[in-house]
Structure 1
């Protein structure tokens, strides 16, 4: 995938799915296929938590999911594992504040997409200066998916970042589902990022489709 323009990235981030095998009750590959069929427009491979795969098994799953993303024309991003991202020639990486230094990651990955989790103005400014392409902001609402999640921020953090002049593409994350997705877009986010609302849904495709509708209704553009 060629380097995306900021506007193309902003559009792709509308429905951002994060998932690894610990987040699924059935085949990760099947979940991803159904999610993309339902309208997921961006994907992050995050293989963490109890029972997470390691080594060759992790690589094999990442490779399989990357292929599915390529078939669906969806950017494939790797969480935290820079070496894996480079080995797979992934479209980019996403890192948190406790991961490797942002500037160092940017130097390693060149012009690939770089997403950074931010929680306040100071982190946001540092991330932009170090070369971040987009922010993951949250947790917006209470979440049980991440055991080490930061304190709930609420929609206010998105509004603050926008009011402070940050125009960088931004997604809200944490406790987002169909009932509250629209409010995240209204607050100023370009998209919503979710794990369990899609990965654990009884009907993954329909769950993704409904979320896509909610985002589109608030001004987002669904990618077909």
Structure 2
């Protein structure tokens, strides 16, 4: 049974695929286990780009990560892959503006899982506001990022604040967020932060996650 969406899930939101794990001594399931033990509030599996797994291995990995999230009672979200989301009985699916149209995804998943959508402009937010079936919005990149080769132009803190003000849905910030700059985010009104490298490449995952949670618990 998929988890119902709650705003608190956005507070410390970890996104990763095998391509994001740069440490030779740790696997993605090991990094995720540490992140889950440290208190992340959601996990999105995003297997994309150079060094990512083939389709068959991706499915196996998704099942492994799904089980881990289930054990820790944390939502498992799949990035832009309806078939994989349905096969793993994911709690949520996240789609970007360049991916399949969100309305089609909503029809395909029905009430089986919640849907998140990336919105980087006020126009995109306005459409999301009128679209039945979206639970939250991901907005950014707030800061320059090295994790996505096709990242959109940086919107900055001021841009993020404008999007939050125009959104009827809760917003999670993404893009270039670090342990240093994350303290600037609460003033924008976002519900939380979603990060890749801040956790995936951290030398102290516990510290990184604790920092994320602390910033939004104030």
TM range (shorter): over 0.9
Equivalent position of 2:140 in the other structure: 138
Aligned-CA RMSD value: 1.3
- 1-side partners of 2:41 and 2:193: how far apart? 11
1:41 and 2:38 correspond: no
How do 1:19-168 and structure 2 match up within 5 A? 19-24=16-21, 25=23, 26-111=26-111, 112-130=113-131, 131-164=133-166, 166-168=167-169
| Deviation by residue 1:9-53 (Cα, 9 ceiling, x = unmatched) | 211110000001010122101100101111110010000121101
Aligned partners of 1:178 and 1:214 also within 8 Å: no
Deviation of residue 2 (structure 1)? 4.5
1:15 and 2:16 correspond: no
Unaligned runs of 5+ in 2: none
- 1-side partners of 2:164 and 2:32: how far apart? 31
| Deviation by residue 1:165-196 (Cα, 9 ceiling, x = unmatched) | x2311100001111111211221100000000
| Deviation by residue 1:110-150 (Cα, 9 ceiling, x = unmatched) | 12110000011111122232332100000001111101000
Equivalent position of 1:221 in the other structure: none
The alignment partner of 1:177 has SS state of coil
Equivalent position of 1:4 in the other structure: 4
Task: Spell out structure 1 runs of 4+ moving beyond 3 A.
Answer: none
> Relative to structure 1, is the Cα distance of residues 49 and 2 closer, same or farther in structure 2, using a 3 angstrom cutoff?
closer
Equivalent position of 2:176 in the other structure: 175
Equivalent position of 2:206 in the other structure: 205
| Deviation by residue 1:42-88 (Cα, 9 ceiling, x = unmatched) | 01000012110122210111100011100111100000111100111
Unaligned runs of 5+ in 1: 218-224
Per the normalisation by structure 1, the TM-score is 0.91
- 2-side partners of 1:20 and 1:2: how far apart? 21
Deviation of residue 211 (structure 1)? 2.2
Aligned partners of 2:191 and 2:216 also within 8 Å: no
The number of equivalent residue pairs is 213
- 2-side partners of 1:157 and 1:36: how far apart? 31
Equivalent position of 1:222 in the other structure: none
Per the normalisation by structure 2, the TM-score is 0.93
